[in-house]
Structures are given as C-alpha cells and as structure tokens.
Structure 1
Amino acid sequence: MLNQPGGQPGSAAPANAAAESTATLTKESPPGASNGRPPAGRAAGGGRLRALADLRNLSLVGVLAVLVAVGGFTKPNEFLTTDNLQLVLTQASVIGVVTVGMTFVITSGGIDLSVGAMVALASVWATTLATQDFGLGGILMCAVLVGLGCGLVNGVLIAYGGLVPFIATLAMLASARGLALHLSDGKTQVVTVQPVLDLGLPDAYVLGVPPLVMIFALVTVVGWLVLNRTTFGRRTVAIGGNPEAARLAGIDVRRQRLMLYLLSGLCCGIAAFMLIVLTGSGQNTNGNLYELDAIAAAIIGGTLLSGGRGTITGSVLGVLVFTTITNLFALNNLQSDIQQIAKGAIIVAAVLVQKGRTNHEG
C-alpha cells in the first residue's frame, strides 16, 4: 500500500485530511519538526531567548545602579534618604500597575492609548460625593468597575467590532477624558473618607513599606504568574506571535483579546484607587501621559512592540528606571521638557535594540 503524506504505511486517512495535517505542520512547526514532536534545537533556542532576557534585565539593573549612583553623587543628602526612596517606589507603584496591564496588551500584538484617560475617569467617578457616601469599599469598587467598563468597551470594539486597537483606544482616550471633565466640572474633588486617606500616611506602612508598594508587588507577582505559568498567558503570547496560527490551533482569538482589554481596564481601576490614596483627590487631569510611560516602560523592559513576547519583570524594571529619572530631574531642578526628551530618546534606543535583536534572531 502507498504511504500517505504525514501518515504511516497503510494509512487509510483521506488525502485531503493528510494535506490539511501537512499544511498545519508546515504553518505551525519550524523546519525539522516531525510527527508533532519539538524539533531538535528548539530547547536551545528557548535557552538562548531566556539568556537574552536575563541579560536585558541585568542591563536594566545596571542602569538603575548608575542612576542611584548619580543621585547619591549629585544630591547625597536628599536622594538616598528613606523618605525619598519611599516616594520613588510609591510613584512607581501607580504607573507600574498600569504597565502590567499594558504588557499583556502589547504582548498580544495590541496597544492601549486610553490607560491614562481611564485612570482619570475612574478617579473622578470614584470621588464624587455620592460614591464617597459608601466609604472606602464604595470608592474602590467604583474605581475598579469604571476601569472594567472602559476595558469592556475597548475589547468589544476591537475583538468583535473589528476596529484597529490604535483607533478604538484613541476614541476611548478622548471620550473618557471628556466624561471625566464633565463629571468633575473641571474641579478637584477632595476625598473626605478618612480610611482612604489613612492608607497614604506613614502610620499605615508595614515595616517601612507603603501599602501602595505592596499592592504593586502583589499585582506584579500575579501578572508574572498569569503570563508565564497559565494557559491564559500562553494564549496571549500565541495570538501576539501569529493570530491566524493561534486560531487554527483552537484559540478563541476574539475572546482572548476581549479579556486582555478587560485586564488592562482592571489595572487602570486599581491604579486610579491608588492615585486617590496618594493625592487624596480625584481630577480629570489624573493619569496624564500614563500611556506614554506605560508603553515606554514595557518596551525598554523587553516586551516586543509587534507582539509575541512579553516580560513582567522587565516592565517593572523599566518603570523603576523612568521613575528614578523623573525623581533625579526633580531633585536637580531640571526642566520637565528635558525629561520628556530624555524619555523619548530612551524609547527610540530601546526600539532600535529590539529591531536589531529581532533581525538577528530571524
């Protein structure tokens, strides 16, 4: 009997089924794969990628060490104080939570330009007088629900409406900012709920660690576990690398994208609550340029802008780098425009490095 393509001698499988099997292997498996088994060298390739990730993270740690040294040299009596280091970590916590959600979105091949506006809307809505009547729980729940609601709209428009992520989230950026301005009437809404304010006081610190930093640490750990140790994380990477191959492999790409934008909205809601605790108020200007900072931190941390690869650890290190730079500029009385130029230069450099590595790996 004749051998069927991709089958065993004597196989009675229809020719079209065998062709589909061969096509699937050709599309989803690298050259050298046989009978669905990993090809020789794949483990070595994975080890090489891990080595590159470790090197990148070590590089970011080195950059942080240099920044700390610069701060200690230029402002030894201000930068290295406990209060300033707590301030840096607290400021990094808010944008850090947003960046965790952004990392998932970018890893999937998407983008979310509305994160800053969602933080603003959630912070304003959660600090209205009607919401404050429900106390700390009401403020937290409102912030999270508003973030989830915005993420749901983004996800539905992108996953089921067919809109490009750039356009959908840009529309959300404008709408959420406008609604935040309308709700607040352009005024700062002061929080009068004492338990919320108490979370930002030194008395609430645990072993010298602010509660907001602990929330950031918890979100980071959960994000790392989800991205690296769950099916949800593997699906996120898969649709970022090749959406069509992921669909053929049985992944519901649309539902996965919806869940990812819901996750981004959830992170924005949590960050909005943290910002309320930090500032004791809600403003329509909250979260300004958060989208820039979150995308930049994820990119310099090693998350591939085109999707298919993401790292929570690198994103967190990227957040710490940018927050430390901001703190150094403030302590040395340098203008904010120079700070923005420096951030832009870092982003360009990170993208160029990514491009070079991608070409090398290809």
Structure 2
Amino acid sequence: GSSGQILNSTVEYTWTPDPGGKSQFNEAGMFIEADNFEMRNSTIQYSLGNGIEAYQADSLNIVDSEFLENGANGILVRNSTGLSLTGCTISNNGKDTERHDGCGFIVLVVTGSIESCTIESNRFTGFEGSGDMNLNISNCNIKNNSDFGIFIHDEFSSSLVEIASNTVENNANISQIHAGISVEGGVKAYVHDNILDQNYTGIRVLNNTPTSNFEYNEIHNSGTWGIHVDNSSPVFYHNQVSGCNWVAFVQEENGTPHPNFGDTTVEKSGYNDFSNNNNGIRNDSTVELKAENNYWGSTEGNIIDLYNFSDDTPIDYDPWLSSQP
C-alpha cells in the first residue's frame, strides 16, 4: 500500500458526498485509503459529513490533531489494523441535526490504540467501537457527550478491549439506556482504573457473552445506577461507587445475569466500596447474587439488608468488610 503525511495543516468545509446523500460512509472532509499514513498537528473542521474517514488504512497514525464541528462524525475508521490516535481533540461533531450520525469517533472492525485524547460535547456518543476489535483506550478525557461516553459492542464475533485510566464525565445525562461506559455482545473487556463522574448510569454491561472484568474504577454521582447488569456475567473487584441513587441494578430483561460482586471462592472479586449511596444493589433477577467481602458503610447486618433490595431473590453479602478496602 501507499503512504503519506499531512503535517501542520487545516482542512475546512470540504466534503466528498455520497451520491445517495446522508450516508455514514463515503462522506468526509478527507478520505484515507492508504497504509502507513500519518497526520500531525492538523485540524479537520466544518465538513458537512465526517471529518475524516479511513478505510483499509493499516498503520494509520494521527497525533496532536483536532476534529471539530463536523456535520457527522469527527472520525470514522473501518476495517483497519494498527490504528494509533494520540493527543487529539475530537469535539462538537454532529452539527447537522438532520443526520442520524454525529459521534466523536467511531471504529468498525479495527485494531489499535487511542491514548491521551479529549473527546467531548459530541451530539451522540463520544467513542463507539463495533465489530471484531482489539483495542486499548487509555488516559483519555471523555465528557459532555449526549449518549454514551464509551460504547463497545460486537454482535457477530469476539473482541478484546482494554479501557484504562480514563476520565469519563457527564455523559448520557438524559437517558438511562446510555452510560459512561457500556460493554455489549461478544466483547471481553478489561475495564480498570477509570474515573466515572456524573454520568446518568456509570457502567452498563448488556448481553455480554464473555466474562468482562471491572477493577479499581471510581463511579460517582450517577443519577440512576452506578452499575447496570443485564444478561451478563461481569466480575467486580476493588471498585468504589458513591453518590449514586443505586449502587447497581441487576435485571434479566434480555436473559439471565450472573454478575459477581464478590465471591470468597473467586480470586480478584469483591473488596468494593459500596458506601455513601442512596441505596445499595437492586436485584430484579431470579438469580441469587454474590456480593461478599464488600464495604457497605455499616457493619450491622440489618442495616446492610435494608440498604440493598431483593424482590424475591436474595443477595449474599455475608461476610462483609468492616472498613473501606
């Protein structure tokens, strides 16, 4: 494949229109279909479609660039390997409100990394990944996006995604179906050391067929649930949930869930701090939940029992921790 560079450049208002119009694909200020392409210190803005679209662009490297106020998505990358995006700002995309797209950054069937980027104030989701993926998303600030902050889903294959050390704030502030971080489908996710604050729901795990692990995350001030689990079997270890209406909501609207909030027989589970919320875990499933070795803000069993809610199926929280882990 070919290669090339764009350095210290500004691309404005350009647009490659799809003949059918309003398509998510083939409409961009800049279209990349080349291997080993590099963009540095450049700005792509005001496109009527996507800021840039890359297709079969292996080893695409984008550094310290801005994608601002484009009509559709800021960046769309499809069917590419070795993507590297570092130090970029992706904001205020989705300006054409008649379109059905308008995310900050979308990848479809992509491997690579996204590091130290700011993804904010986009009309829909901040970052969305779908299809067969192997991704690392780390040290990013993802905030003020109207739908999801980070939305990872794979309906047809199996993917590996690591989401680490990001700050995810004030996303999904109007709908409980959206969340700061959402993992769905055939994605094995390792989500750790993130700070989630003021998202409508902190973390959502839905129809997640592998076992995803959530460790050392801080989830604060969610208007509904810090954690929402449906038809999934995630494991939670050493997380902190505070200032939320509910610590977690477990339901089986889409299938039977088996979340592990703490099991004394399973290494690296439990030791979560679930204190200082309005309510604890709400179990609306038919499965007895394991939530052992956690801190609930009290050492009295009757108070912990009132803090949590189980309709017909119990929550096993004994033994519990007597202090914050």
Report the TM-score range of the alignment, normalised by the length of the smaller protein: under 0.3
Greater helix share, 1 or 2?
1
Q: TM-score, normalised by structure 2?
A: 0.21
Of the two, which has the highest radius of gyration? 1
Greater strand share, 1 or 2?
2
